[in-house]
Amino acid sequence: MADVRVEKNTYTVDPLHQWDIDQELKIYGLSLPSIPEIHFSNAAMGRAIVRQASMDSAGVVSVLIPNSLLQKPYTVVAYVCIYEGRTFQSLYKIKIPVKGRPQPADYTLKDDQEVYSFNALENEVANALVALDAAKAEMKNANSAAVAEAKAEAEAAVAAHAADKSNPHGVTAEQAGAAPAVESADYPGCYYRVVNGITEWLNPPMQLGVEYRTTERCNGDTLYAQLIDFGALPNASMKQVTAPVSTSNMLAPSIDFGLSRAYNPNDGRSSAFPFRSGVSEICTNNGGIQITATKDMSKWNAWVCIKYTKF
C-alpha cells in the first residue's frame, strides 16, 4: 500500500517495490468536491492508465495501482483529476518511488485492463534510435555529395577563368563585337572596346557621377549606366532625389536600377543590395528616384545604379 498524506502544497508518500501486486493508493488530506479519477503513468509510457477512485465520508481517496506499472523500477506518477460540470481538471500530481528488486519466480501479471509490456516499449525506443541514426547518416552522405558536386563546379569555373587570360570575365563575342576587349589601365579588371572612336564598356568601373556607355542594348538602343549618391536612406518613409538624366531621356522599360551598395558611416560597415532588409521599394517618379523604407534606415547611405537609353 502507498499512503499519501497531503498538507497544503506538500505531501509525503510511502515507496513501492518492483513486482508488487494489487497495491492500493490511499490519499489523505484532500478536500475534493467530487470523487476523482486517477491517471497513472511513468517515464516509459506515452499515455496514462485511467482508474476510477473511491472516496469515503472522511474524504480519503482510494484506488488500485495498475500492476503493469510495477514491472520496472520507474517512478509512478499519479494525477488526481475531477469533472466539474462539463470541465475536466487535473488538481494534483503525486510521484511514488518504486524500489527495484529481482523478479519473483512465481510472479504473474494479472491486470484486468491496459497491460503494458515495458520490454516491448524499450525495444520500440531502441529501434527508433537505430532508425534515427540511419536517417542522420543518409542525410550526411547526401550533403557530402552535394558539397562535392558544388566544389567540382567551382573548381571547373576557376580553371576556365584561369585558362583564358585574354577574357577573364567571360565576355561573349556578341557583347564584345568585332572589336577586341581592352583592359583599363586605370581600373584593372574593367574592360571596354573602341569602335569608330566611341568607347563602350563591357563592365564599367562605376565611379560616382560618371556616365558610361555600355555594350548592352535594349530594343536595339544603347544602354548607359551611371552610379549616383542617394545619400541617407529614409526613416520608415519615402525619399526622392532628382535623377541626373531628364525624364525625356529615360525610358521606363529600359531603366534597370537598384541599390548596389549601402554603407554606415558611423561604424564603417557596408552591405550589398538589391533590397536589403528594410527597403521595400525602389522606383522612378516625375524624373526622380524614390526609395521607400519600412524601418529606420537613416544611418545607412546608399548608391543607386541606373541604366537608361537616350532618344
The whole-model pTM stands at 0.40
Architecture of the structural domain at 2-101: Sandwich (2.60)
pLDDT of residue 7: 83
Please say whether the beta carbons of 203 and 191 come within 8 A. Answer: yes
Please say whether the beta carbons of 223 and 254 come within 8 A. Answer: yes
Q: Provide the pLDDT confidence category of residue 259 given band limits of 50, 70 and 90.
A: very low
pLDDT of residue 150: 65
pLDDT of residue 307: 82
Closest of 228, 249, 255 to residue 240, by C-alpha: 228
Query: Does 139 score more than 70 pLDDT?
Result: yes
In the chain, the amino acid numbered 54 is S
pLDDT of residue 274: 43
User: 67-76, 79-88, 215-224 — which one is most confidently predicted on average?
Assistant: 67-76
**Which tens digits make up the pLDDT trace of 228-242?**
888 888 899 999 888
Q: Provide the pLDDT confidence category of residue 16 given band limits of 50, 70 and 90.
A: very high
pLDDT of residue 127: 63
C-alpha cell at 15: 515507496
Residues 6+ apart with CB under 8 A from 216: 175, 222, 223, 307
Average pLDDT over residues 270-279: 56
In the chain, the amino acid numbered 159 is A
Instruction: Tell me whether the CATH fold assigned to 2-101 matches the one assigned to 206-308.
Output: yes
Closest of 231, 234, 229 to residue 293, by C-alpha: 234
Query: Does 96 score more than 90 pLDDT?
Result: yes
User: What's the whole-number average pLDDT of the chain?
Assistant: 77
- For the chain, the domains span 2-101, 206-308
C-alpha cell at 128: 527508433
Class of domain 206-308: mainly beta
Query: Does 262 score more than 60 pLDDT?
Result: no
Name the residue with higher pLDDT: 97 or 85.
97
C-alpha cell at 134: 540511419
- Pick from 26-30, 69-73, 274-278, 290-294: least confident: 274-278
Length of the chain in terms of residues written: 311
Exposure letters 216-242 (e unless 16+ CB within 10 A, then b): beeeeebbbbbbbebeebbeeeebbee
Q: Provide the pLDDT confidence category of residue 158 given band limits of 50, 70 and 90.
A: low
pLDDT of residue 279: 77
pLDDT of residue 113: 54
Alpha-carbon distance 33 to 30, whole Å?
10
pLDDT of residue 161: 47
Average pLDDT over residues 138-150: 74
